[in-house]
Each structure stands twice: as structure tokens, then as C-alpha cells.
């Protein structure tokens, strides 16, 4: 009982020491509960079965992510406990001097950890339950579902999961504390605060050489993931620049820890101005002993910036793409004349009957299955795609083929190009509400919206490469691809369609027929009934002999897009925020511990006449440099990381990248900047203590 009272008294007395620790624990509990309670919030939503499947998949993924998050938070809590124990070395030394056994000190720490854990859980769960109600509205908006009724929801499963996971973490902390106390020596505890970490001045020439080599290596890694991106084919090709970036980051911090003080000492006027010498020596002392930690924090910040930017870009771009790339209700297509390429389609798994019976258009095939298009569509158009083995990418790239093949060896250059009459495409463009085009008799053009392929095709178009098609020689009208598409999607997937004058097309080479239209109804439930009827046609016995048109509908695209973007957003936010909190908390706790150790040094400064304003300024600079150094390098890494991500995300579109980067910057300013200000405030309070 006495030890419990002493533990409670210690917590009250050391509240400044526990501020960031306590705040981080509560924040961790809140985030853990909110994201794991999403499935309870979705109970109140009226969603389709396909959307519910996506929600279930999202929750499964979030459960897996939660295990990973628990390891990160567990490491963070143990790391924080290490510094808190170090902060109280003198206190424990006094306890031992007064005759208290190490077992009782361990019990005091046990009760303190237990009390902090219980308080953190209660406060965190309370805030989490309240925030999860607001999150339910975010989920409803994200999945564009109808909120049938709003009710206060408490997720018992999320609560139990949070309690279990954090109980395991606290148990590990208690074990760690017990082991730490058992290894303590009285002399070290009493004199720990007086010990100053030695500043080993590294050889400046060696540091300079390592710094330059590290910059060259990281520069090469940047080049590999940006300029050489399209030539990276194997997983190992991606891993290599990652390893190069990690190793070079470590050695950049290692070399800077030896260079900064040396460079500053050589600039006498700067070094001896005010408290610069004190600030720089303190900083060098810290960075010397935390090179590995600074590397980890830098990489975590880098992952956070790229992850949040990429996830928010995917969400915003995909939602914007629905409006642009799915402008009508349905687009059905069917491959025709498969017997022309019999062997090819046999390899794809089609049987002889399906290949033989492939001379029907999409509309005709629906009618064969007793599905009348006119009964369900208010308006529609039919257009064709043509293809011939005499026009592949090998032919359209012309004289630039060899150089492009060398640069991009993975492309399927033997793939038949999609050919379309200009009048057919203009029908589609008018129907979609996008740009129409015109061609002269001996001209062709290419429409595409998949950026990497656009860039490759533009190499040939800029050279005005002619093509030979159906006995005609055509020159490009434009020296670059024009924006356009045929198939509806939530992504930019059009790698290229060759538009040609109507009069040169040989109808024998008809390859694909498209049926594009709008339903007579706009009611979602009625549309779902129509699409269910179409899906049920697969059960028709005729499906063994005839292949139904495949298709994409606005409703299906919208549900899949909304579900995927929500899934990516929640997982990205979950991991991104945890990484950001962990990075900031580790730095904050490290600085608080150092401020506690430095009280004697600041006391000496005070004795020699240094005013409080100057000391606070020195403290602010120390903490600012310590927080900013890993962030600056992380930002540099992120520039190239985002360029790499853009190449991956170009299928979704990157028009929304800037708003996503701004949103990510706001997250960092609020969380990382908030921890910085809390750390400075608490550190300033610590160095003002006088004994």
C-alpha cells in the first residue's frame, strides 16, 4: 500500500517528465481503437453486397496492420521507459542509499507503469469512442452510402483488442523496467546526471570523404528510382536502391556528426558568438550517440510523407476519375472473328464453339441470350475496333524502335495495335462529352492517356514516323498523343488507339465491337436490377457455345473505386500517423531526457551571468536542429520518392498530387510541430528547476 502511494506521488511530482509519454500513449490508444472500430460503424450503413465485401476486406487488412502497429507502439513505449528511468537515476540512487531494495524499486516502477497504463487506456478509450462516432460519418461519406440512422456505437471488439494489445505492451515494459533496475549500480545512479557524453572529434577528412561518397550513392539511388524506373523489372531491382538509400542515410548522419562541429569551430566569429559553442557541442554530443536513431527516424518520416501523399493522391484522383473516365452508364465489348487468330485464342482457353461463334456484335449477342437492349437503354451507340498483324508497336515506333526497345525492353512490341475509324471515335467522344478530332485522307493520330506509354509513343510521333495500313501510307497529324479513351475505367489505362480515315479501313479486320449507352432509369436500385440480369446471363446454357460481351458499368466502377480508395486511405492514414507520432515522440523523449541531464550545465551558465532569454534561445536552437535534421533529409528523400510514386500512380492520374502533398504537410506541421513545441516547453520548464 505504501509503495502504491509512493508511486502515485511520484507520478504527480514527475508529471512534466510523463507529459509526452502520457500524451503519446493516449494518442496511440485513440488511433488504435478508432481504426479497429470501423467495422462497428459500418453496421449503420445501407450498402450493396459488393461494397460490404470491400469493407470486410478493408477490416481484414486493418487487423493485419494493427499487429504491425502494435509492434511499433510497443517499441515506442519501451524506448520511452528507458529514458524515463534514466531521468530518475538520482531518485533511485537515493532510494538505495536509504536502504530500499531493488525489488521494491521495481515494484514502484511496476505500480507507476500500471497506473499510467490504466489512466492512458481509460482516457484514450474515452476519446476514441467519441472520435469513432465522427469517423462513422467519414466512413459513410467515403463509401458514399446512405446513413439509415445515426446511433451511438461502442465497439466491444475494438475495445477488447485495444486492451489486450496494450496490456501485452505494458507487460513487456514492466519486464524491461525490472531488468533495468536489477542491473543498476549505486555509483552510476548517483553520478549519472553529472556524466557528460564525450565528444569524439572524428577525422574531418574521413568524414568529408564518407559524406561525399554517401551523397553519390544516394544520388545513384535517386537516379535508379526516377530516370531508370522503367528498366527495373525484378523485385531485386527495386530493393537495391532502397538498400543504397538506407545505408547512405546512416553514413550521412555519421559523417555530419563529425563535420558540423569541426566546421563551426573553424569559423571563430560564429562559434564564439553568444551560446553557439554550447549549443553546437551539445548537439554534436547528441547526434554522435544517436546516428542509428536519427537514421531510423529519418526513414520513418520519409515513409510517412510518401505514404500519406500517395494514399491521398489515389483517393482524390480515383474519385475525380469516375466523373471523367466513366461518363455514361455502360460500355460492353466483345472480341469478334476469333477464328482469324485460332491458335492464339485456343491458348487463352477458348473452346472451338466459342471461337467459331464469334461473329456477333455485342447487341446481337445480347439478343441471342434474349436480353433486349432497347428495353433497358434510352440511347446507345455501336463502334468497332480493327486489328491486323501488319500493324503492331514494332511498326508504329518505326525507326525509333531499336532505341526504345533498348531503353524499355519489357514492352510487348508484337502486340497488335487497336485501330479505329475517326467517325466511330467521334461518336464516342460526343457521347462522352470529350474532344472530337478530324483527319485528312493520308493522316493518322494516336489517342492515349497512360502517361508512360504516351511518353514512349511521342518519341516516334515527334519523328513523324509513317505507318502502312491496308495498303495506305499515313503520316501523323500530331507530333504527340492526344488525350482520349474508349473503355470506361477509374484509371488511365488507354495505352494507345490509332485513329485513321474511314475510307482506308478493311472491314475484314474487324476485331472488337463496343456497345456504349445510358440506362432509361437513374434509380440506383433499378440499375442494380438491370446489371444483375446481365450477370445472370452467364448461367445460360448457351454460355458454353457463345461468349457474352464483357463490360464495365459506371455503378460497378464507382463501387469498386470508392471501396479501393477508402481502403487505401484508411490504411495509409493509420500507418502514416503512427510512424509520424513514433518519430516525433522518440525525438521528444530523447530531448527531454537530455534537458534533464543538462540542468547542471544550464545552472552553471546561469551562475556566470547568462540571462534566461539567451539560454531559452540556445535550448530552442538545440531542439530545433535535432528535430529538423532528420526531417530535412527525409524531405529530400521524399522528393525523389514521390517522383517514383508518381510513375506508379500515373494509372490513377496525378492531377490531385499537389493537394495531397499540402494535406501531408499539414499533418506533419500539426503532429511533428506539435511534439516539437511540447518538447521545447517541457524542456524549458525542466532547465528552470533549481535545487
Q: What is the rounded average pLDDT of the residues 452-469?
A: 90
Q: What is the rounded average pLDDT of the residues 398-411?
A: 83
Domains of the chain, by residue range, sit at: 1-195, 370-539
Q: Classify strands 550-553 and 467-469 as parallel, antiparallel or unpaired.
A: unpaired
- DSSP-based three-state secondary structure for 513: strand
- DSSP-based three-state secondary structure for 383: strand
Q: pLDDT tens across 422-443, in order?
A: 999 999 999 999 999 999 989 9
Higher pLDDT pick, 567 / 526: 526
> Residue 380: what pLDDT?
93
Residues 6+ away with beta carbon under 8 Å from 218: 244, 245, 248, 249, 252, 637
Q: pLDDT tens across 330-358, in order?
A: 999 999 888 877 777 777 778 888 788 88
Q: What is the rounded average pLDDT of the residues 384-413?
A: 87
Closest CA to 366 of 241, 207, 194, 546: 546
Higher pLDDT pick, 604 / 382: 382
Residue 542 has pLDDT above 70, yes or no: yes
Cell of 75: 517499441
Q: pLDDT tens across 553-601, in order?
A: 888 888 777 777 777 888 888 888 888 888 888 888 777 777 766 676 7
96-110, 236-250, 580-594, 661-675, range with the lowest pLDDT: 96-110
Q: What is the rounded average pLDDT of the residues 519-538?
A: 87
pLDDT band at 197 (very low <50, low <70, confident <90, very high): very low
Report how far Cα 658 is from the mean position of its chain's Cα atoms.
15
What percent of the chain lies above the pLDDT cut of 70? 76
Q: pLDDT tens across 35-56, in order?
A: 888 767 655 555 566 666 777 7
According to DSSP, residue 684 is labeled H
Q: Does the pTM of the predicted model rise above 0.85?
A: no
Residue 190 has pLDDT above 60, yes or no: no
HSE on the CB side for 108, CA within 13 Å?
22
Residue 185 has pLDDT above 70, yes or no: no
CA distances from 22 to 5, 174, 397, 482, 677 (A): 19, 16, 63, 57, 16
Residues 6+ away with beta carbon under 8 Å from 33: 124, 125, 128, 129, 132, 155, 158, 159, 162
Cell of 120: 492512458
Distance (Å, whole) CA 663 – CA 315: 13
Q: pLDDT tens across 251-300, in order?
A: 888 887 666 666 666 666 666 666 666 666 666 666 666 777 788 888 88
Residues 6+ away with beta carbon under 8 Å from 591: 622, 623, 626, 679, 683
pLDDT band at 118 (very low <50, low <70, confident <90, very high): confident
> Residue 691: what pLDDT?
41
- Can you give 198-238 as a three-state secondary structure string? CCCCCCHHHHHHHHHHHHHHHHHHHHHHHCCHHHCCCHHHH
Residue 511 has pLDDT above 50, yes or no: yes
Distance (Å, whole) CA 186 – CA 7: 21
Length of the chain measured in residues: 691
pLDDT band at 96 (very low <50, low <70, confident <90, very high): low
Distance (Å, whole) CA 393 – CA 417: 7
Residues 6+ away with beta carbon under 8 Å from 607: none
Query: Which residue is it, cell 520518392?
Result: 641
Cell of 77: 513505449
According to DSSP, residue 652 is labeled T
Q: How does the average pLDDT of the chain come out, rounded?
A: 80
Amino acid at each position: 500500500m505504501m509503495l502504491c502511494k509512493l508511486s502515485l506521488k511520484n507520478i504527480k511530482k514527475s508529471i512534466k517528465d510523463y507529459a509526452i509519454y502520457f500524451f503519446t500513449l493516449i494518442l496511440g490508444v485513440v488511433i488504435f481503437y478508432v481504426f479497429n472500430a470501423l467495422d462497428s460503424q459500418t453496421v449503420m450503413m445501407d450498402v450493396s453486397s459488393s461494397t460490404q465485401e470491400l469493407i470486410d476486406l478493408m477490416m481484414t487488412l486493418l487487423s493485419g496492420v494493427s499487429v504491425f502497429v502494435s509492434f511499433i507502439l510497443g517499441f515506442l513505449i519501451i524506448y520511452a521507459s528507458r529514458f524515463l528511468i534514466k531521468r530518475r537515476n538520482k531518485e533511485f540512487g537515493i532510494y538505495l542509499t536509504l536502504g530500499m531494495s531493488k525489488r521494491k524499486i521495481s515494484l514502484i516502477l511496476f505500480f507507476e507503469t500500471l497506473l499510467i497504463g490504466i489512466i492512458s487506456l481509460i482516457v484514450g478509450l474515452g476519446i476514441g469512442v467519441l472520435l469513432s462516432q465522427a469517423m462513422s460519418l467519414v466512413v459513410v461519406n467515403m463509401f458514399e452510402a446512405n446513413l439509415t440512422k445515426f446511433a451511438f456505437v461502442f465497439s466491444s471488439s475494438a475495445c477488447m483488442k485495444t486492451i489486450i494489445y496494450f496490456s501485452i505492451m505494458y507487460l513487456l515494459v514492466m519486464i524491461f523496467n525490472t531488468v533495468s533496475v536489477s542491473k543498476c549500480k549505486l555509483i552510476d545512479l548517483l553520478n549519472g546526471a553529472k556524466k557528460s557524453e564525450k565528444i569524439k572529434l572524428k577525422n574531418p577528412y574521413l568524414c568529408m570523404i564518407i559524406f561525399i561518397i554517401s551523397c553519390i550513392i544516394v544520388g545513384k539511388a535517386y537516379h535508379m528510382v526516377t530516370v531508370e524506373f522503367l528498366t527495373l523489372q525484378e523485385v531485386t531491382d527495386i530493393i537495391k536502391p532502397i538498400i543504397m538509400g538506407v545505408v547512405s542515410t546512416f553514413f550521412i548522419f555519421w559523417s555530419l556528426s563529425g563535420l558540423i562541429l569541426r566546421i563551426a569551430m573553424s569559423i571563430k566569429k560564429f562559434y564564439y558568438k553568444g551560446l553557439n559553442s554550447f549549443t553546437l557541442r551539445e548537439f554534436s554530443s547528441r547526434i554522435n550517440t544517436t546516428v542509428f536513431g536519427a537514421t531510423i527516424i529519418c526513414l520513418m518520416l520519409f515513409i510517412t510523407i510518401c505514404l500519406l501523399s500517395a494514399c491521398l493522391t489515389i483517393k482524390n484522383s480515383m474519385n475525380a476519375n469516375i466523373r471523367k473516365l466513366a461518363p455514361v452508364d455502360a460500355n460492353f465489348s466483345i472480341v469478334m472473328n476469333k477464328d482469324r487468330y485460332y491458335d492464339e485464342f485456343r491458348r487463352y482457353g477458348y473452346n472451338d464453339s466459342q471461337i467459331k461463334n464469334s461473329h456477333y456484335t455485342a447487341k446481337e449477342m445480347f439478343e441471342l441470350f434474349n436480353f433486349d437492349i432497347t428495353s433497358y437503354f434510352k440511347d446507345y451507340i455501336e463502334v468497332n475496333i480493327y486489328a491486323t498483324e501488319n500493324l503492331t508497336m514494332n511498326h508504329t515506333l518505326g525507326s525509333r524502335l531499336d532505341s526504345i526497345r533498348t531503353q524499355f525492353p519489357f514492352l510487348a512490341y508484337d502486340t497488335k495495335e487497336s485501330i479505329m475509324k475517326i467517325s466511330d471515335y467521334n461518336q464516342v467522344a460526343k457521347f462522352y462529352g470529350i474532344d472530337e478530332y478530324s483527319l485528312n485522307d493520308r493522316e493518322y493520330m494516336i489517342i492515349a492517356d497512360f502517361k508512360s506509354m504516351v511518353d514512349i509513343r511521342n518519341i516516334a510521333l515527334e519523328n513523324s514516323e509513317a505507318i502502312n495500313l491496308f495498303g495506305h501510307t499515313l503520316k501523323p497529324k500530331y507530333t504527340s498523343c492526344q488525350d482520349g479513351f474508349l473503355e470506361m475505367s477509374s484509371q488511365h489505362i488507354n495505352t494507345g488507339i490509332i485513329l485513321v480515315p474511314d475510307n482506308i479501313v478493311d472491314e475484314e479486320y474487324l476485331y472488337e465491337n463496343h456497345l456504349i449507352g445510358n440506362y432509361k432509369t437513374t434509380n440506383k436500385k433499378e440499375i442494380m436490377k438491370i446489371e444483375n440480369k446481365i450477370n445472370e446471363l452467364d448461367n445460360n446454357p448457351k454460355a458454353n457455345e457463345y461468349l457474352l460481351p464483357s463490360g464495365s458499368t459506371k455503378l460497378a466502377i464507382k463501387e469498386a473505386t470508392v471501396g479501393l480508395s477508402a481502403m487505401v486511405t484508411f490504411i495509409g492514414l493509420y500507418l502514416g500517423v503512427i510512424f509520424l507520432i513514433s518519430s516525433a515522440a522518440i525525438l521528444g523523449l530523447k530531448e527531454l531526457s537530455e534537458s534533464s541531464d543538462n540542468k547542471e550545465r544550464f545552472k552553471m551558465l546561469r551562475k556566470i551571468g547568462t540571462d534566461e532569454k539567451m539560454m531559452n534561445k540556445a535550448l530552442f536552437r538545440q531542439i530545433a536542429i535535432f528535430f529538423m535534421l532528420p526531417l530535412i533529409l527525409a524531405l529530400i528523400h521524399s522528393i525523389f520518392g514521390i517522383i517514383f510514386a508518381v510513375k506508379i500512380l500515373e494509372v490513377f492520374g496525378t492531377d490531385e498530387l499537389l493537394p495531397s502533398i499540402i494535406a501531408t504537410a499539414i499533418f506533419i506541421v500539426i503532429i511533428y510541430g506539435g511534439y516539437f513545441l511540447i518538447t521545447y516547453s517541457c524542456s524549458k520548464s525542466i532547465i528552470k528547476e533549481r535545487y
